[in-house]
Amino acid sequence: MEQPLLEVDDLRVAVYSERRGLEATRRGETGSGIRLPGDELELPAGWVQAIHGVSFAVKPGETLALVGESASGKSLIVMGALGLLPAGAVTIGGTTRIEGYEAHIPDVQERSESESLKDRFVRKLLPLRPDAADDPEWRKLVGTRIGVLFQDPIGSWTPDILIGEQTAEVLEEHTDLSKDEIRERVFDALGEVQLPKERKFLSYRFELSRGEGQRAMLAAALIKAPDLLIADEPFSGLDVSVAKAILELIRDMLAQRKMAMVFVSHDLAAVASIADRIGVVYGGRIVEEGPVREVFYRPRHPYTEGLLASIPGLGLDRLRPIVGDAPPITDLPPGCAFAPRCEYATDVCRSELPDPSIRDLTLVSCHRAHELTLRGVRD
């Protein structure tokens, strides 16, 4: 059987909640009860678990999409798995394996605004393994094999360094290419993503539109010839035609380079066109995971059914938005987090967390998955 390229096991992430912090201070509490693994350090009051034991794997050449409503925890999952969380969020447990290298999370370092994309990427990954700082193989592995498209295509660039120089950094560190050869490679990469290369090489981030920022980030990600692309909402804030063009570019690159991808997106039509597998995220958990066709045509989780029914363009009979709002990820109800919005909920749903179980090709966490026949996309 083919080995996964990326394997994430039991990922747990905590975030700082101002509200919880204030409430705890009023009650005179100082600790959160959350401890960092292998450490006596207790996170202070206000920290609360947001990602609850998420596991997934991506094989070489495969695309896994993570979908779910805003604030369900998608970015925390992908960035937590890579050790790239921003300030205010920290991995409190789990394991990431990249090409067999095992990375023990947590990463407790905070991001510095002036740090370059590459420095941040490499430095944030290093603490995952205790001895990683002295391990050139590991540095090289994480610095060169994974390309990342961050959700904010402008803010992720360092403000005071030219886009071309930032794109070149990874080649400077990990190859023996001359300055001229590196410049040539950066020009090629900018050209590949259809940017005016010389002009954009000499641009600062404030001179880029969002679409250009996303294309430049794609160039910076691809210049390493990565095996895996992490794309966190690569279309956010882009107009429809620009988003479509970037989707086409990503699709071409995946096919040409046989790369794997973790693709976070609200856009289920884009997911249907690009992904092999899909993970549906609700309340900081993956509640359903399986091959895209299986999940779209035969959803097993009521939330997936609701998500499919609320999105235009999927060939469903009629649009039916899911009633109610998702609970804040930092304040979930007991039992199944979807219960307050679920038309199939029973008493057990409101008190007990459902365990994941396998239904045909799908892994699903729902007490009633064995008995429900849900509506999916029509042929």
Ligand X SMILES: Nc1ncnc2c1ncn2[C@@H]1O[C@H](COP(=O)(O)OP(=O)(O)OP(=O)(O)O)[C@@H](O)[C@H]1O
| Residues near ligand X (CB under 6 A) | 15-16, 50, 68, 70-76, 86, 88-89, 151, 233, 329-330
Note whether 339 binds ligand SF4 by CB under 6 A: yes
Specify the DSSP element, H or E, that contains 348.
helix 347-351
Exposure class string for 338-366: b at 16+ Cβ within 10 A, else e:
bbbbbeebeeebeeeebebeebeebbbbb
Q: Quick one: which segment of 51-59, 87-95, 99-107, 340-348 binds ligand SF4 (CB under 6 A)?
A: 340-348
The C-alpha atoms of residue 100 and residue 66 are separated, in whole angstroms, by 23
- Which residues make Cβ contacts (< 8 Å) with residue 267, sequence separation at least 6? 235, 243
93 binds, among Mg ion, ligand X, ligand SF4, none (CB under 5 to 8 A by kind): none
Q: What is the separation, in whole angstroms, between the first and last Cα of the chain? A: 31
- Over the window 72 to 91, marking each residue x when it contacts Mg ion by CB under 5 A and - when it does not, the resulting string is ---x----------------
Closest approach, Cβ 203 to ligand X, in A, equals 26
| Contacts (CB under 6 A) with ligand SF4, residues 272-301 | 301
71 binds, among Mg ion, ligand X, ligand SF4, none (CB under 5 to 8 A by kind): ligand X
Burial zone of 104 (CB within 10 Å; 0-12 exposed, 13-18 middle, 19+ buried): middle
367 binds, among Mg ion, ligand SF4, ligand X, none (CB under 5 to 8 A by kind): ligand SF4
Closest approach, Cβ 184 to Mg ion, in A, equals 35
Identity of the residue, 147 or 283, whose beta carbon is nearer to ligand X in the bound complex: 283
Identity of the residue, 180 or 347, whose beta carbon is nearer to ligand SF4 in the bound complex: 347
Q: Quick one: which segment of 28-36, 105-113, 200-208, 339-347 binds ligand SF4 (CB under 6 A)?
A: 339-347
Q: DSSP secondary-structure letter at 329? A: T
88 binds, among Mg ion, ligand X, ligand SF4, none (CB under 5 to 8 A by kind): ligand X
**Helices H, strands E: what count in the chain?**
13, 14
| Contacts (CB under 6 A) with ligand SF4, residues 356-375 | 366-368
Beta bridge partners of 357: 364
**Residue reference for tokens 């970037």:** 246
Exposure class string for 168-206: b at 16+ Cβ within 10 A, else e:
bbbbeebeeeeeeebbebbbebbebbebebeebbebebe
Closest approach, Cβ 191 to Mg ion, in A, equals 30
Binding site for Mg ion (CB under 5 A): 75
Binding site for ligand SF4 (CB under 6 A): 301-302, 336, 338-339, 342, 344-345, 349, 354, 366-368
